[in-house]
Amino acid sequence: MGNRAEQVAKQRENILNTSLKLFVTNGYHGTTVRDIAKKTGISVGLIFHYFPAKQDILKELLKQSEEGVSKIKEFLASENDPVNIFSGIAKAILESFSEENTKYLFLLENQVMTQKSIPFNAKTLKKSNLMINASVPLIISGQKNKSIKSGDPLTLALVFWGAIQGLAETFFWHPEALVPDYNCIADILRKN
Q: Verify that 67 and 156 share a domain, yes or no.
A: yes
3-state SS, one letter per residue, for the chain: CHHHHHHHHHHHHHHHHHHHHHHHHHCCCCCCHHHHHHHHCCCHHHHHHHCCCHHHHHHHHHHHHHHHHHHHHHHHHCCCCHHHHHHHHHHHHHHHCCCHHHHHHHHHHHHHHHCCCCCCHHHHHHHHHHHHHHHHHHHHHHHHCCCECCCCHHHHHHHHHHHHHHHHHHHHHCCCCCCCCCHHHHCCCECC
Q: Are residues 76 and 125 in the same domain?
A: yes
Q: What is the pLDDT of residue 88?
A: 93
Residues 91, 147: one domain? yes
Same domain flag for 84 and 173 = yes
| One domain for residues 116 and 21 | no
Which residues of the chain register pLDDT less than 70?
1-2, 121-128
Q: Are residues 94 and 123 in the same domain?
A: yes
**Is 156 part of any domain?**
yes
Enclosing domain of residue 37:
1-52
Question: What pLDDT is attached to residue 3?
Answer: 85
Give the pLDDT of residue 125: 60
CATH of the domain at 84: 1.10.357
Where residue 46 sits, what CATH number does that domain have? 1.10.10.60
Enter the pTM of the model: 0.80
